[in-house]
Amino acid sequence: MAKGKKRGRGIYLLPNLLTTAALFAGFYAIVAAIVGRYVPAAMAIFVAGILDGLDGRIARLTNTQSEFGVQYDSMSDMVSFGVAPAVIVYAWSLSSMGELGNVWGKVGWLAAFLYAACAALRLARFNAQSGVADKEYFQGLASPAAAGLLASMVWVAEDFGLSGEALRTPTLLVTLLAAGLMVSKVRYFSFKSIAVKDKVPFVAMLLLVLIFVLLAIDTPKVLFGVAVVYLLSGPVMTLFGIYRQRGRRRSAREKS
């Protein structure tokens, strides 16, 4: 392309088309959950996550970022990673809590609402801090990761032949945990500091190939395992940071 030549208008549509596709996947997940197709609903959440990861990178690679794209992406994320996972876990499991009594029935749908509300608060905080936040880390569990945790939990339970009714108490606890971590100050590695064009160690490539192989062998279990490991990495990393900070303060007092 000659220098100064105007970039075609069509390329500006690409990131927003990917965002629209992610929104479609999130909407499909809601519809599938309502009619009791929980595994396709869980799969759709992961499709939305892949598309959500692509749209931002495509926009940066093609230099087509825009304020409209940022806001549209946030709205799409709210549907795909806020409302859709809440509907899935409620339809699959938490709705059955009404069998324990009227109060527990309210606890079930309120827990699903709390998750959706925390996802909205997490996205709003992320947008408000986007200009000043550390790009290497997320403050709180990112909504796609929280959605992936709930979706993989449903998928792996269905794979084992376990019903949501039988797992309503663990589902309630996991939903509340994911909601709380989204609005917490626990730090999570964002992976945004890793650029596509950056060189990576051979071991990293080998690990990536291994993950693909494991996904091909048993997708739901591997996705759930990865989601749990990432969930735990935040508190572990935060506690380790606090321990190191206290150690530096102790060393400074001893030197003084």
Q: Give 240's pLDDT tier (boundaries 50, 70, 90).
A: confident
What is the structure's pLDDT at 9? 47
Query: Residue 139 and residue 176: Cα distance in Å, rounded?
Result: 18
Cβ neighbours of residue 176 closer than 8 Å, sequence gap 6 or more: 111, 114, 115
Higher pLDDT: 252 or 45? It is: 45
Beta bridge partners of 255: none
Distance CA 36, CA 88 (A): 9
Q: How do strand 137-139 and strand 187-189 relate by DSSP bridges?
A: antiparallel
Integer Cα distance of 249 and 256 in angstroms: 11
Q: How many Å apart are CA 254 and CA 256, to the nearest integer?
A: 5
Q: What is the DSSP string of 162-222?
A: --TTTTHHHHHHHHHHHHHHHTS--EEE-STTS-TTS---HHHHHHHHHHHHHHHH-HHHH
Q: In this predicted model, what pLDDT tens digit does every residue of 152-184 receive, in sequence order?
A: 999 999 999 999 999 999 999 999 999 999 999
pLDDT at 195: 56
Global model pTM greater than 0.95: no
Q: How far apart are CA 108 and CA 244, in angstroms?
A: 40
Whole-number pLDDT of residue 207: 80
Domains plus CATH for the chain? 10-255 (1.20.120.1760)
* pLDDT cut 90: percent of the chain above it: 57
Q: Which pLDDT does position 133 carry in this prediction?
A: 62
Higher per-residue pLDDT: 212 or 33:
33
Q: Which residue has the higher pLDDT, 1 or 173?
A: 173
Highest averaged pLDDT of the listed ranges 14-18, 146-150, 191-195, 211-215: 146-150
* pLDDT at residue 78 tops 60: yes
Q: Which two tokens stand for residue 229?
A: 């490991």
Report how far residue 152's alpha carbon sits from residue 146's, in angstroms, rounded to the nearest whole number: 10
Residue 30 and residue 116: Cα distance in Å, rounded?
13
Residue type, 69: G
Nearest C-alpha neighbor of 142 from the set 159, 165, 128, 125: 125
Distance between CA 182 and CA 180 in Å, rounded?
Answer: 5
**pLDDT (tens digit per residue) in 107-135:** 999 999 999 999 999 999 988 887 666 67
Three-state DSSP class for residue 186: coil
Q: Which of 8-17, 88-97, 235-244 has the lowest mean pLDDT?
A: 8-17
The pLDDT score that the predictor gives to residue 197 is 56
pLDDT tens, position by position, 210-239: 888 888 889 999 999 999 999 999 999 888
Cβ within 8 Å of residue 246, ≥6 positions away = none
Higher pLDDT, 256 or 171: 171
- For residue 48, how many other CB atoms are within 10 A of its CB? 30
Q: How far apart are CA 68 and CA 31, in angstroms?
A: 27
Q: Tell me phi and psi for residue 127, to 5 degrees.
A: -65, -40
Encoded tokens for 116 = 């959706």
Task: Tell me, rounded to whole angstroms, the distance of Cα 38 from its chain centroid.
Answer: 18
Could you give the C-alpha distances from 230 to 30, 33, 167, 207, in angstroms and in order? 25, 25, 22, 16
Give the mean model confidence (pLDDT) for residues 76-82. 96
